[in-house]
Structure 1
Amino acid sequence: MSTPAGLYVHVPFCPVRCPYCDFYANPYRREKAEAYAAAVVRNIAAYPAGLPVDTVYFGGGTPSMLPPPLLGQMLHAARQRFSLLSGAEITLEVNPLTATDAALHAWRDLGINRLSFGMQSALDAELQRLGRRHTAAQAIAAVERAAAMGFSNISCDLMIGTPGQTGESLAQSLSVYTALPIVHISAYLLSIEPGTPFDSDAVRSALPDEDGAAALYLQMVQGLEDQGFCQYEISNFARPGFESRHNLKYWQCVDYVGIGPAAHSCFGGRRYAVPPDLDGFLHAPRQQEVTTDDAPYTPEERVMLGLRLAEGIRQQDFPPAYWSELLRRAKPLEQAGLVLAEPERIRLTRQGFLVSNSVICQLAE
């Protein structure tokens, strides 16, 4: 394998479930967390020794809830089993309320070098409507503590199209975010997931309509780029050189290993998923892995994933006949202002990103 793989560890614990979230998570229990860390270590040991890895990502859930010694056990296992390359990017998703001085010290000492804060908004009213337990001031203080502690690669999440959000309130959040000591912003349009508390007519009636959401998205893109955060993916912005190396693997069709209940992988020539079952994961000698695709990285998949990136897709990654067909399909989309089609590259425009699913389906059909 020419490009190092990524390691994703899904931590299935949360203090409370946000009303918009459908990720797999369970209430935190210390004994369950200890058994979970041991199961992760056991599963890391089942992968090929010496596998080159240059990114580790603890997602969830709320990984920052875990006591640092448990995070340390898992990182130690990864270092022992894999060839964790020098300068590897090691990310921890962080709830601002968990970022105490002691925790930040411990994370830094473990070698974690990238923090991704679930901030979501810089306005208390919006945070309350989203069911977040932290205030804007608490999130800001947590980010500033992390920077003072020496973390130089900090990301914050921002949600747009949320209940009651306006162009004015978004501008206020953007002003706060871009003044923080951060180098990356993941900005998501709120989607209503079936079965969540937000899956109700009352919530939908408080959301901006399609045109309103599009206007907020374009305002966000322009506002972030004006402050030096370049859009490199539909929902991700970074100062130059601080793109998420781990997440780029997903969109650039690079192998990654997922460990933990509800984790996904693309490794060894197949895609597979672990069932969202914490007890099953804890008690199995090795996690159950259900194949979801036994022939990944097809040209169609490379189109679907690659067009999420601002740089788009390149001629060199496709068979000549397939590329010629892509250019043919792209012509009417280019005339509509949705893509830029060059002989050696196809990429979405800012307007194309707004309707990316439709555009990508037309190109990859």
Structure 2
Amino acid sequence: MVNTGLYIHVPFCIKKCPYCDFYSAAGCSESEYGQYTSAVIRNIQNYLEKYPEIVFDTVYFGGGTPSVMPVSFFRDVLESLKHNLDDGAEITAELNPGTAGEEKLAGIRQSGVNRLSLGIQSAVDSELRDLGRIHNFREAETAVSLARKAGFSNISGDLMTGIKGQTEETLMKSVNALADLELDHISSYMLKIEQGTEYFRNGISSEVPDEEKTAELYLLSVKTLADRGYHQYEISNFSRPGYESRHNLKYWHCDDYIGIGPSAHSCFGGKRYEVPRDLSKFIKEKNQQEIINEDHPCGFFEKAMLALRLTEGIDLNNYPEEAPSVLKQAEKLAGTGLVKCRNGVVSLTAEGFLLSNEIISRLLADF
């Protein structure tokens, strides 16, 4: 049996957020939801017919906004893979607090989903309005309460730094408000203005905190989350002990995962590939089209690059041939406060994470 992650992309939203560059569409119909559900199940079955030995130990419904889907979507998808689903699988669904009614949450939990990831982003309503979110913070608080009532004991919340109008005071309000909700996991992302988004077209770059200020806000959030009992285990991810995202760790550990749906990515069977960003094509075709990006993924360079995103870093004792080069570079950076090196394990500090691309390039310069 082969433990594998499953990512299912749900390309539907009630409203497209101005900063979001993920593939999604707003205002879709119930019939399209049904067609999409059938296409997801069909593609899962295609994989299981070809690879019956697969055991899914993590499942992740991402988007888009998976919580706009009817409860039957989660029930039917999970039912379709039940014979290949690990008994202790972590099954996550992303949820917008503005779509989280009591009945919907209870139904999602009863379908088999056991972990929620809530797109809270901020506890300051003016910041939420600028982000184009459809919820206010009171609705986020209600969503967490209803989720606990529905039986969810593993809840994550998203927090965004570097957004328009954000100050140290408003960030602290948000960090502490999320911690006060007793979330099990917090993902704290720095806003990045991507080409093709409404933010990019509107030239909002001049209205958000500059790079130096955003770095200060990030480090402040790291310290405050640590003070509130959240361990940083990856650049943007913090958790209480034992609540790290098992699915996302698959990405950073270079483990196998299969992506289903338009724009989904996979690393499976010795290849890395993606599905075109085309909902209509995905629904119509028997098998989703998969474009190969890499024939031999997960070599040393990629494993090291991904491992260095984690606070645990990379244990070079497992790579005796490559270790001397990396350790030589690490020693050059040891006095900067950006890199730690101990007993052959190299990792980045919180300050180092702010310059991760540059530092990782230097550490892996010979590969």
- The aligned counterpart of 2:181 is 180
- The aligned counterpart of 1:95 is 96
User: Aligned equivalents of 1:317 and 1:78: distance in 2?
Assistant: 35
Q: Spell out, residue by residue over 1:212-263, the C-alpha distance to the aligned partner (whole angstroms, 9 max, x if none).
A: 0111000000000000010000000000000000000000110000000000
- The one-letter code sitting in structure 2 at the alignment partner of 1:19 is P
- The aligned counterpart of 1:67 is 70
How far does residue 364 in structure 1 lie from its aligned partner after superposition? 2.0
Equivalent pair of 2:305/2:360 in contact (CA under 8 Å): yes
- The one-letter code sitting in structure 1 at the alignment partner of 2:18 is P
How far does residue 32 in structure 1 lie from its aligned partner after superposition? 1.1
- The aligned counterpart of 1:359 is 359
1:54 aligns with 2:57: yes
- The aligned counterpart of 2:339 is 339
Displaced runs of 4+ in structure 1, greater than 6 A? none
Cα distance change of structure 1 residues 299 and 106 upon mapping to structure 2, 3 Å threshold: same
How far does residue 202 in structure 1 lie from its aligned partner after superposition? 4.5
Equivalent pair of 1:144/1:181 in contact (CA under 8 Å): no
- The one-letter code sitting in structure 2 at the alignment partner of 1:26 is A
Equivalent pair of 2:274/2:291 in contact (CA under 8 Å): yes
How far does residue 133 in structure 1 lie from its aligned partner after superposition? 1.2
Q: Spell out, residue by residue over 1:281-325, the C-alpha distance to the aligned partner (whole angstroms, 9 max, x if none).
A: 01111000000010100100011100000100112442x120111
User: Aligned equivalents of 1:353 and 1:209: distance in 2?
Assistant: 17
Stretches of structure 1 that go unaligned for 5 or more consecutive residues are none
Query: What TM-score does the superposition give when structure 1 sets the normalisation length?
Result: 0.97
User: Aligned equivalents of 1:312 and 1:200: distance in 2?
Assistant: 37
Equivalent pair of 2:106/2:147 in contact (CA under 8 Å): no
- The aligned counterpart of 2:121 is 120
Instruction: Report 1:1-365 matches (<5 A).
Output: 4-27=3-26, 28-47=28-47, 48-80=51-83, 82=84, 84-200=85-201, 202-318=203-319, 320-365=320-365
- The one-letter code sitting in structure 1 at the alignment partner of 2:116 is L
User: Aligned equivalents of 1:65 and 1:130: distance in 2?
Assistant: 19
Tell me how many residue pairs correspond in the alignment. 361
| Partner secondary structure for residue 132 of structure 1 | coil
How far does residue 342 in structure 1 lie from its aligned partner after superposition? 2.1
Cα distance change of structure 1 residues 201 and 18 upon mapping to structure 2, 3 Å threshold: closer
Stretches of structure 2 that go unaligned for 5 or more consecutive residues are none
| Partner secondary structure for residue 138 of structure 2 | helix
- The one-letter code sitting in structure 1 at the alignment partner of 2:216 is A
How far does residue 175 in structure 1 lie from its aligned partner after superposition? 1.5
- The one-letter code sitting in structure 2 at the alignment partner of 1:9 is I
- The one-letter code sitting in structure 1 at the alignment partner of 2:17 is C
| Partner secondary structure for residue 275 of structure 1 | coil
How far does residue 149 in structure 1 lie from its aligned partner after superposition? 2.2
| Partner secondary structure for residue 334 of structure 1 | helix
* Superposition CA RMSD, Å: 1.2
Query: What TM-score does the superposition give when structure 2 sets the normalisation length?
Result: 0.96
